[in-house]
Amino acid sequence: MKNIVQGAIANGQKALSEYDSKRVIAMAGVPVSRNALARSRDEAVAFARDFGYPVVLKGCSDILTHKTEMGMVKLKLKNDDEVAAAYDEITGKGITLDGVLVQEWIEGDKREFVVGLTRDPQFGPCVMFGLGGIFTEALKDVSFRVAPLSTLDAEEMIDEIRTKKLLGEFRGSPAVDRDGLVKALVAIGNLGVEYDEIAEIDINPLIIDGSRPVAVDALVILRRETAADEKSA
Amino acid sequence: MKNLTALFYPESIAVVGATENTLKWGSYILTNILDGGYRGKVHPVTVRGDTVYGRKAYRTLRDIEGAVDLVFITTPADTVMEVMRDCAAKHIANVVLITSGFSETGEKGEALEENVNAFAREHHIRVVGPNTMGIVNTASSLYATGSHVRPRKGGISIITQSGNVGNQIMEWAEQESIGIGKFVGSGNEGVLSCEDYLEYLADDEDTSVVLMYIEGVDNGRRFREIAEYTTRKKPVIALKAGRTAVGSKAAQSHTGAMAGSHKTYESVLKQSGVILAHTPTELLTISSAFDSMPLPKGKRVGVVTLGGGWGVITADECEERGLELPPLPRDVYERLDALLPPFWSRGNPVDLVGQPDIDLFFAATDAMVASDAFDAVILLGMAGSGKFVTRIFEARQRLGFAKEKEIDEFKKIFADRQSKFLDNIVDLMEKYRKPVYPVALISSPGDEIVHGKKGSAYSVILYSSPEEAVFCLDKQYEYSRYLRKRSVGYEEHCAGSDSKRPESAFRI
């Protein structure tokens, strides 16, 4: 994990690619969707077959933002041909990529949460939890705790959101694995405490698959000043 | 930790800039100290005149014979360094720097303040302020703020980053007879910060509740540690101002955009067991509940009401805040059934269906508070019901059907009954260690709000509305729950937080 973060800083990166972001949070203990970085069309198809259809393809690079708006995300691809076509389209936009991320498609049950890390100038790393998906910033149903989090802190921040009912049994879906969620929140807090180089983290959405929370998108932002220091040194 | 005992319990005080000119701080502070009943020595210091308010005045601090524990400085900013040097020369360790015109005014004032702060630190002088309203310690009858407010002695101590907000809270406390312990306006926090005051009050035996008005702290981590330490010992109620201010940090992530400093502050406060208030009036209301009553051990509420509507309102308020109204246990049911007319509510809330019977009030209260089924009891409309009847007699008198003497007798009987009813509540709170919240049927300005009983640590608060009673109960339950969760296996919770991580779900 240290290698990924420090390697990126040595490269002068401001953020980790989605692939590396997910690797980092997974190593910390947050469950993420299965994904692999394909560097050729055949490799993409092979990964997709291995995961089983449908799959998602995303252009992967540390400088890519607004992936969806740039047509860099292809959802729910159902067969080899669709994967091959999507690979060509993503790589054909003339943008330098690390590769194309092949990711298992998680249907989920529409319950989407957000987990994040931010740094407060007074209190240091803070963990956020709340309602995820496209309405996150409109509804702002989120709670914060300063890291490191005890499991009690994590439980209390989960119970603090207005939409906490979504965590129980909901429209035929089982209750969310609370322990898993608590562990994820504690883990993200610990990342903030252990890695000064990490400025912020967005995990959105964290989809509920059955009862299990799974991160399907993640972004780790690195400290700019640290990156600059490394460069000049 | 900085020992602030000599600051709050000085044996001798000097006021630099003392004057009889009514509208000067040197007069506000001095008259307040002298009029407030402070029993130690008080020395006015001024370059003009031999006496101030009848006390022998000194030209400088150095001229005072004997030791001085605490100095109030009210002279202009550019004279303060000289006074500080006098303090150092006289080995004075505590200063309340009332003077403004420092860092709050810009660069020049900032440089001036930094000189004063550096000098104070070097000579181990504890400085409150600058730009402070002053301090109060009712335990030593020391009223030394710019405002001549005289709350009665009590356990609520106030740390405020705004002198005016804190002063207004003391005014309300005086009006409502709510006891105040200490007050400190932290001002610019040049040397002593609100963290220092909190740390001191955590272990101060005269303080049972800490009330804080916060705009911002300089050392977030230290504040959090001290807040967490303090809430293990006593409740801390805080208002963090600036709810609507947008975080100035340019955030890159969505998480950062939603954080903002206020949200973080509130999270830190909650995480440390601090109870949040949204307005200054709430600060005092919540604090006085904590100061007067035992904590509820759980969230099961028993309600007794003189009429149905209030019971429903109270039940709604409880439900919305996550408090529960369990059904009446059999023994309570049978006891009340024997006393009440057949059409009574037969459930919780217990509706006394308007029976104006003082014996029934006592019996219902006793039965509900004594029951293990409830962690807290709310009593609606029994207190204050004498006033209701008095008003009927007053109308009769105006109509010529009652004599004044008769009314006076009734008033006395009702006052006596109310006093006994409230005394009984104090006794019940002592006996069962659970809070009881009576809501007055009628309350008028000037009526008793806090009812104490000699020899008891608890007192009864007469709430003016059901929602206020439930609001306070909910805050007390929040704190009680925080403590309970942390005392049961809290250390294990913390220790387990970074060990055993779940197996990685990531595959390459």
Q: Taking 80 as the threshold, does the pLDDT of residue B35 lie above it?
A: yes
| Contact partners, residue A104, CB within 8 Å, separation at least 6 | A33, A34, A35, A51, A52, A55, A56
pLDDT of residue A231: 43
* A200 lies in the same domain as A98: no
Q: In the predicted model, what is the mean pLDDT of chain B?
A: 90
Nearest to A122 among B217, B493, B501 (CB): B217
Q: Taking 60 as the threshold, does the pLDDT of residue B397 lie above it?
A: yes
Q: What confidence tier does B447 reach under pLDDT thresholds 50, 70, 90?
A: confident
Q: B295-487, superfamily in CATH?
A: Succinyl-CoA synthetase domains (3.40.50.261)
pLDDT of residue B407: 85
pLDDT of residue A230: 44
pLDDT of residue B495: 43
pLDDT average, residue stretch B437-446: 88
pLDDT of residue A134: 83
pLDDT of residue B95: 98
* A88 lies in the same domain as A203: no
Chain B residues close to A120, C-beta within 8 Å: 220, 259, 261, 264
Would you call B497 and A27 a contact, using CB atoms and an 8 Å cutoff? Answer: no
Would you call A151 and B497 a contact, using CB atoms and an 8 Å cutoff? Answer: yes
- Tracing tokens 């109620």 back to the chain, one arrives at B237
* Alpha-carbon gap: B218 to the closest alpha carbon of chain A (Å): 7
| Nearest Cα to Cα of residue A102 among A42, A47, A21, A50 | A47
* A86 lies in the same domain as A172: no
* A53 lies in the same domain as A147: no
A223 Cβ under 8 Å from any chain B Cβ: no
* A118 lies in the same domain as A197: yes
* A99 lies in the same domain as A171: no
Q: Chain B interface residues facing chain A, Cβ-Cβ under 8 Å?
A: 216-217, 219-221, 224, 249, 251-259, 261, 263-265, 267-268, 270-271, 485-486, 490, 493-494, 496-498, 501-502, 504-508
* A196 lies in the same domain as A173: yes
CATH no. for residue A53? Answer: 3.30.1490.20
The top-scoring range by mean pLDDT among A136-150, B6-20, B336-350, B351-365 is B6-20
What pLDDT, in 10s, does the model give residues B291-317? 999 999 999 999 999 988 999 999 999
* A13 lies in the same domain as A127: yes
Nearest to B506 among A23, A200, A204 (CB): A23
Q: Taking 70 as the threshold, does the pLDDT of residue B257 lie above it?
A: no
Q: What confidence tier does B249 reach under pLDDT thresholds 50, 70, 90?
A: very low
pLDDT per residue of chain A (233 residues) written in tens, 0 to 9: 889 999 999 999 999 999 999 999 999 999 999 999 999 999 999 999 999 999 999 999 998 877 888 889 999 999 999 999 999 999 998 888 999 999 999 988 889 999 999 999 889 999 999 999 888 888 889 999 999 999 999 999 999 999 999 999 988 889 999 999 999 999 999 999 999 999 999 999 999 998 999 999 999 999 876 444 444 43
pLDDT of residue A225: 62
A182 Cβ under 8 Å from any chain B Cβ: no
Domain residues for the domain of A19 are 2-31+108-232
Q: What are the CB-based long-range contacts (under 8 Å, 24+) for B49-55?
A: B52/B18, B52/B19, B52/B20, B53/B18, B53/B20
Of A104, A134, A150, the domain-final residue = A104
How many beta-carbon pairs under 8 angstroms link A with B? 127
Chain A residues close to B498, C-beta within 8 Å: 148, 186, 190
* A211 lies in the same domain as A130: yes
Chain A residues close to B508, C-beta within 8 Å: 36
CATH fold group of domain B5-226: Rossmann fold (3.40.50)
> How large is the ipTM?
0.83
Nearest to B249 among A121, A146, A180 (CB): A121
List Cα–Cα distances, B122 to B5, B88, B117, B249, in angstroms.
20, 10, 9, 35
* Alpha-carbon gap: B267 to the closest alpha carbon of chain A (Å): 5
| Closest alpha carbon within chain B to A150 | B494
SS3 of residue B224 by DSSP: helix
pLDDT average, residue stretch B83-89: 98
pLDDT of residue A107: 86
Q: Taking 70 as the threshold, does the pLDDT of residue B488 lie above it?
A: no
Would you call B264 and A126 a contact, using CB atoms and an 8 Å cutoff? Answer: yes
Of A47, A76, A104, the domain-final residue = A104
Nearest-angstrom CA–CA distance, B390 and B393: 5
pLDDT of residue B490: 40
pLDDT average, residue stretch B246-268: 68
Nearest-angstrom CA–CA distance, B194 and B443: 37
Residue A164 CB coordination number (10 Å) = 14
Domains B5-226 and B295-487 belong to one CATH topology:
yes
- Per-domain boundaries in chain B: 5-226, 295-487
What pLDDT, in 10s, does the model give residues B125-141? 999 999 999 999 999 99
* A79 lies in the same domain as A134: no
Would you call A27 and B271 a contact, using CB atoms and an 8 Å cutoff? Answer: no
Chain-centroid distance, C-alpha A34: 12
Q: What confidence tier does B25 reach under pLDDT thresholds 50, 70, 90?
A: very high
- Tracing tokens 């440390």 back to the chain, one arrives at B272
**B446 half-sphere exposure, CB direction, 13 A CA radius:** 1
Q: Are B274 and B239 in contact (CB under 8 A)?
A: no
Q: How far apart are the first and last CA of chain A?
A: 22
Q: What confidence tier does B506 reach under pLDDT thresholds 50, 70, 90?
A: very low
What is the number of structural domains in chain A? 2
pLDDT of residue B248: 41
Interface of A with B in 113-132 (CB under 8 A): 114, 116-124, 126, 128, 130
